[in-house]
Copies of this chain bind each other. A is one copy, B any other.
Amino acid sequence: MATKSKPEGRLLYAQSGGVTAVINATAAGVIEAARVKGVPVYAAHNGILGALREELIDTTKETKAAIAALRHTPGGAFGSCRYKLKSLDANRAEYERLIDVFRAHDIRWFLYNGGNDSADTALKISQLGKAMNYDIRCIGVPKTVDNDLAVTDCCPGFGSVAKYTAVSTLEASLDVASMADTSTKVFILEVMGRHAGWIAAAAGLAGEGADAPPHIILFPERPFDEAAFLAKVKATVERVGWCTVVASEGLLNAEGQFLAEAGTRDAFGHSQLGGVAPVLAALVKEKLGYKYHWALPDYLQRSARHLASKTDADQAYAVGKAAVDYALAGMNAVMPVIVRTNDAPYRWKIESAPLTKIANREKKMPASFLTKDGFGITAAARRYLAPLIQGEAPPPYGKNGLPQYITLKNAMVARKLEPFGK
């Protein structure tokens, strides 16, 4: 039963861009917090496209247990998309359509869960209220495995891919070490990270000291120096017996070109990468003659909820809950961000930050995080990264040996408007 103090209207939540192991934990935070306040939540099907197409999911049809299970389910439960709204001048019709949909369904709060591009979209929508005479509060909610959002100390989604990467580097290195005498001497692990080497840096947590893996990390922040790379591979194999290399997909040559340019681009104009590892492996074979193996876990790294960081899963939930609190308190054009208050023991809290300081900006790794030779991480990087992979938050497993991931009913809300555009 609605009470007098219940806020009027509905809240719309949408997931944007590449999904993560914990973006659904944020969805759980949003929906559970809104339920406490008596605010019904709709979710846009496939991100902002669902809002444009009036494809809205009624989350009130989901059980409490189903929403709770989102907290341990990877992927995007309502669908996500890569679709960037143009500027208000360039495509006013899209913004007018969004307001039409909001108005038709009494959407008073819009929470947009994504990265840099999504923060920009959220900012534009937050400004629509005045421009189009409709009272809408828009909150950006952080999410990206790339860890490249400004202001926030870290990004939900990153801690889990960081943990996956560090653990995988450690495990594969134990394998390589066992066999190096007669088999593979150089193992190359390619990780995500278009323009910032945060994920590659996290691999550095697998070990410490010159002889511990990974022996070489290749960052997009440092142009690839073939001679220095080969010299270090050779020295490592001669000293340790084998060598583990972690390479960022965004590794650039001296001319600033991706070593593994695939030549296709996504809707945001980003290059679609993949395959720097085989390029490096061929180089090692040709120039040094070592037997190699390489791995490219691709989506496995960002969907590995089975190996999520508890810190990350907790933060993902917390930003969802905070976003609801901010929205219902009448805040607009802000994002809940993670503020670190202590390194060891790790302490953090959530605060709000203006979207103007986040939209379209990209946080690079501090230069102080890379060793002088550019092939490793410093103590400062370890201090920053270490807390983010701490703690385990395994999903429940069924008797069949698989994690019990939830598939929601995703009941669609009846349309009230004519179809939009195409």
Contact = CB atoms under 8 A, between A and B. Distances in A.
B401 A391 contact: yes
A184 B303 CA distance: 14
A178 B410 CA distance: 13
B74 A401 contact: no
Interface residues of A, number: 74
A167 interface: yes
A38 interface: no
A83 to B, nearest CB: 6
B390 A399 contact: yes
A387 to B, nearest CB: 8
Interface string A52-84: 000000000000000000000111110111110
User: Within the oligomer, what is the number of copies of this chain?
Assistant: 2
A405 B179 contact: no
A166 B402 contact: yes
B46 A182 contact: yes
A309 B179 contact: no
Interface string A301-313: 0111111010100
Contacts of A278: 275
A379 B294 CA distance: 34
B83 A174 contact: no
A223 to B, nearest CB: 25
A98 interface: no
A171 B303 contact: yes
Nearest to A388: B401
Contact of A303 (B74, B172, B403): B172
A178 B80 contact: yes
B299 A19 contact: no
Contacts of A412: none
Contacts of A302: 175
Contacts of A373: none
Interface string A166-209: 11101110111111011110010100000000000000011000
B299 A297 contact: no
18 contacts: A18-B183, A19-B178, A49-B182, A75-B178, A79-B177, A81-B179, A82-B179, A83-B182, A167-B402, A170-B403, A174-B405, A205-B401, A205-B402, A206-B402, A295-B300, A296-B297, A311-B401, A392-B401
Interface of A: 15, 18-19, 21, 46, 49, 73-77, 79-83, 163, 166-168, 170-172, 174-179, 181-184, 187, 189, 205-206, 264, 266-267, 272, 274-275, 278, 291, 293-300, 302-307, 309, 311, 386, 389-392, 394, 397, 399-403, 405
